[in-house]
């Protein structure tokens, strides 16, 4: 740059400075030199001045940040106006920050396949599936997108949206009835199941003789869907979630554990059914096959997870009873038989019966053995109710009572012969009561009885076992003369002159129903009954130790009643037999007991019978 030397420098040759400048002498020059050589001292700033300076900087910085934030907020607000808020997911699909149109397209693209794709439903220990379209489930698209919302104006919310996610879910369009029906069907078909306690099962081995293979039955809790409404809500709310839906089940727990089942299987059950067990009886043996052993096992879970096994001895017994039954013997009571018309004791026989409980006591030890699997039968000897010694001690030696009546014929004779054969040989101990009904058993066609008139005189309807009241009356009179006590009897409806008045008994009603007759042995010794029926007569003899001589005193008849008149047989199906009839009456009988040794009277007893009038029958 070129310098202009023609222009005066400040202070030189101008009026501006000439009047104001003072003369510059030597002293001034010295002072100037001193000032230039000596440093200038600046006073330190005060605290107030420093604080004002710091505040100023902070204000400037905050102002800058606010200005920057306002610029950024305005920019973000303008650029995202009308979009879905950042961080928003719908059914797990990220639509945050997208325009509503783009969000709608993305949701349609990704959610529509799920409408026909099964979703997972878990209840307890069951995992199953439902197809939305078949279960009344669908999407409300407009409301689902509307639920996603718009960009918020709150600046703090906008800032947090950069770092968080918010699931808003879908708006489901449902058919409540179809959803409820689908849930109920799902519960009945798959979710619900009964409790399965841990146990052991058995599979037959093909081609083997009763061999089985044991296997574990794993324990499984029982469960039931009781809260159907709750399940419907859970499925409606969460069917589009990625992890599926959990529904609450009512659970029944088990006691056994899988480890407990396998421990029992390996250590107890498998060895027990590995081979058969041979059961040895007296003279015979039977084989308990593995299948029979397995069928007797019963399993039960225990607290703590263990499983115990119990053995049903009845099933084991049934498995071998057929082979071992012949080793048992039935006992026989001593009997009084009549040889040469005299009583003789036929010896008794002891019974031999298997004691199954004692037989199976060592079974668990035998089942644990790999070899030597043998079991010995234990027997019990059972005494009969009447032993030979007891029969001999009964004092049955004297004929103490006897009675005979004839007049039988046809089917009546057949029935009386059968009854006499069943009664003959009966022993009645001291203090016991003899029951004709119990001794004879059912008087039915199955036991050989035939149809005959109910009444022993040939009248009345025909019934199976009819006419046996004749045997009953003969037995009653034999016991009467033997001095035995009356245990209970029923007199005939009409008087029959073949028996002394008030000394008869019936055991069949006109409708065929039985009537009981009982005799009580009130003696100190036993008695035996000998009965026979042959030809037209029935005879009963009673043996024992003679105590009394018995006489009968019949009283006078009183209260006569005229016989009714009957036209025809009276009973449908019966044969009409003309009869002159007889009047009814009441009569008493006195039995007098005399001591057989001294001949002195011991006591008297009496009985009274009332008979109806026998009808006059006009055919």
Interval 17-26: pLDDT, tens: 344 444 444 5
Tokens representing 531? 């009965």
What's the rounded Cα separation, in Å, for the pair 545 and 562? 45
Output the pTM of the full model.
0.50
Asked whether the predicted pLDDT for residue 13 surpasses 70, the reply is no
The DSSP call for residue 189 is I
| Size (the chain), residues | 619
- What is the structure's pLDDT at 419? 96
Confidence of residue 456 (pLDDT cuts 50, 70, 90): confident
- What is the structure's pLDDT at 155? 61
* 8 A C-beta contact, residue 223 and residue 200: no
Confidence of residue 580 (pLDDT cuts 50, 70, 90): confident
Confidence of residue 117 (pLDDT cuts 50, 70, 90): confident
**Residue 169: CB atoms within 10 Å:** 16
Confidence of residue 8 (pLDDT cuts 50, 70, 90): very low
What's the rounded Cα separation, in Å, for the pair 182 and 119? 13
Distances (CA, A) of 587 to 237, 457, 491, 495, 517: 99, 21, 12, 10, 21
- What is the structure's pLDDT at 21? 42
What percentage of residues in the chain have a pLDDT greater than 90? Answer: 58
What's the rounded Cα separation, in Å, for the pair 376 and 386? 31
For the chain, the straight-line distance linking the first and the last C-alpha, in angstroms and rounded, comes to 184
How much is the average pLDDT of 269-288? Answer: 96
Task: Look at strands 277-280 and 374-376 and give their pairing.
Answer: parallel
Confidence of residue 70 (pLDDT cuts 50, 70, 90): low
How much is the average pLDDT of 7-17? Answer: 43
Only one residue has tokens 């400037």, namely: 60
* Positive/negative CA dihedral, 301, 302, 308, 312: negative
Confidence of residue 539 (pLDDT cuts 50, 70, 90): very high
Question: For the chain, what are the domain ranges?
Answer: 394-618
What's the rounded Cα separation, in Å, for the pair 122 and 487? 77
Tokens representing 292? 């029979």
- What is the structure's pLDDT at 568? 79
Give the SS3 label for residue 87.
coil
Asked whether the predicted pLDDT for residue 78 surpasses 50, the reply is no
pLDDT in tens, 225-277: 999 999 999 999 888 887 899 999 999 999 999 999 999 999 999 999 999 99
What's the rounded Cα separation, in Å, for the pair 88 and 169? 10
Question: What are the two backbone dihedrals, phi and then psi, of residue 91, each rounded to the nearest 5 degrees?
Answer: 55, 40
How much is the average pLDDT of 174-199? Answer: 94
Average model confidence (pLDDT) across the chain: 85
- What string of DSSP letters covers 334-391? -EEEEETTEEEEEPPB-EEEE-HHHHTTTHHHHHT-SS--EEE--EEEE--SS-HHHH
């Amino acid at each position: 740059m070129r310098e202009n030397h023609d222009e005066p420098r400040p202070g030189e040759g101008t009026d501006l400075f000439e009047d104001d400048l003072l003369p510059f002498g030597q002293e001034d020059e010295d002072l100037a030199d001193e000032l230039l050589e000596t440093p200038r001292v600046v006073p330190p700033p005060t605290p107030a001045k420093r604080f004002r300076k710091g505040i100023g900087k902070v204000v400037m910085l905050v102002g800058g940040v606010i200005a920057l934030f306002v610029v950024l907020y305005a920019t973000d607000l303008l650029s995202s106006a009308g979009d879905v808020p950042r961080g928003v997911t719908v059914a797990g699909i990220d639509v945050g920050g997208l325009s509503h149109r783009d969000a709608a397209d993305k949701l349609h693209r990704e959610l529509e396949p799920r409408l026909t794709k099964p979703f997972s439903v878990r209840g307890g220990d069951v995992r199953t599936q439902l197809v939305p379209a078949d279960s009344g489930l669908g999407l409300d698209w407009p409301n689902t997108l509307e639920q996603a919302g718009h960009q918020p104006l709150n600046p703090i919310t906008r800032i947090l949206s950069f770092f968080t996610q918010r699931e808003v879910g879908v708006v489901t369009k449902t058919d409540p009835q179809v959803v409820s029906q689908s849930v109920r069907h799902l519960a009945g078909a798959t979710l619900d199941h009964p409790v399965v306690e841990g146990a052991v099962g058995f599979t037959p081995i093909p081609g083997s003789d009763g061999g089985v293979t044991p296997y574990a039955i794993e324990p499984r809790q029982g469960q039931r869907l009781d809260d159907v409404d709750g399940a419907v809500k859970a499925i409606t709310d969460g069917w589009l979630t990625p992890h599926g839906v959990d529904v609450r089940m009512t659970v029944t727990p088990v006691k056994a554990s899988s480890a407990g089942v396998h421990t029992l299987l390996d250590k107890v059950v498998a060895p027990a059914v590995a081979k058969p067990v041979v059961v040895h009886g007296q003279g015979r043996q039977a084989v308990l096959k593995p299948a029979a052993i397995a069928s007797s096992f019963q399993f039960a879970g225990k607290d703590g997870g263990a499983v115990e096994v119990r053995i049903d001895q009845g099933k084991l017994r049934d498995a071998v009873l057929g082979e071992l039954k012949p080793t048992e013997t039935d006992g026989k009571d001593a009997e009084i038989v009549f040889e040469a018309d005299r009583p003789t004791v036929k010896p008794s026989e002891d019974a031999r019966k298997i004691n199954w409980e004692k037989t199976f006591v060592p079974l668990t030890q035998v089942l644990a053995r790999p070899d030597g699997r043998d079991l010995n039968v234990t027997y019990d000897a059972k005494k009969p109710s009447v032993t030979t010694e007891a029969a001999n001690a009964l004092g049955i030696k004297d004929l103490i009572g006897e009675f005979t009546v004839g007049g039988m014929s046809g089917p009546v004779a057949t029935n009386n012969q059968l009854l006499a054969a069943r009664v003959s040989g009966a022993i009645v101990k001291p203090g016991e009561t003899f029951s004709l009904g119990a001794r004879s058993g059912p008087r039915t066609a199955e036991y050989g009885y035939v149809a005959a008139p109910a009444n022993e005189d040939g009248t009345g309807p025909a019934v199976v076992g009819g006419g046996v009241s004749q045997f009953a009356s003969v037995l009653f009179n034999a016991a009467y003369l033997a001095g035995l006590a009356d245990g209970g009897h029923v007199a005939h409806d009409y008087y029959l002159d073949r028996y002394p008045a008030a000394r008869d008994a019936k055991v069949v009603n006109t409708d065929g129903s039985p009537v009981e007759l009982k005799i009580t042995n009130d003696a100190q010794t036993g008695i035996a009954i000998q009965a026979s029926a042959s030809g037209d007569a029935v005879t009963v003899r009673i043996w024992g130790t003679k105590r009394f001589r018995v006489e009968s005193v019949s009283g006078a008849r009183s209260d006569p009643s005229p016989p009714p008149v009957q036209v025809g047989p009276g009973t449908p199906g019966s044969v009409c037999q003309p009869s002159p009839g007889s009047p009814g009456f009441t009569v008493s009988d006195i039995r007098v007991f005399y001591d057989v040794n001294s001949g002195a009277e011991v006591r008297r007893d009496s009985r009274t019978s009332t008979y109806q009038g026998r009808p006059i029958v006009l055919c």
